[in-house]
Amino acid sequence: MGGPFKFGLSYPAIGRMFGGRDHTTALYSVSKIEAERNSEASVAQEFIARKILMREKAHQYRELARSRVGADV
């Protein structure tokens, strides 16, 4: 399975990470980027950069979620 699921995140989680966007916006964005990634080399390079950013944000998001759960215990 592709898209954000490679990072263990749902579309709603991706939307929240990028400014509280709706899950449909995240879905559309992922689809558009994946389609463009296959058509241009510069887009492929941009995709790699954003993939790295996505991994970093996913890590931060998980750490924040863990800290909030730990604070509630």
The per-residue pLDDT for range 17-73, each reduced to its tens digit, is: 888 889 999 888 888 877 777 777 777 788 788 888 888 888 888 888 888 876 554
Within 10 A of 27 (CB to CB), how many other CB atoms are there? 16
Distance CA 51, CA 62 (A): 16
DSSP three-state, residue 46: helix
Is pTM beyond 0.75? Reply is: no
Retrieve residue 24's tokens.
Answer: 């449909």
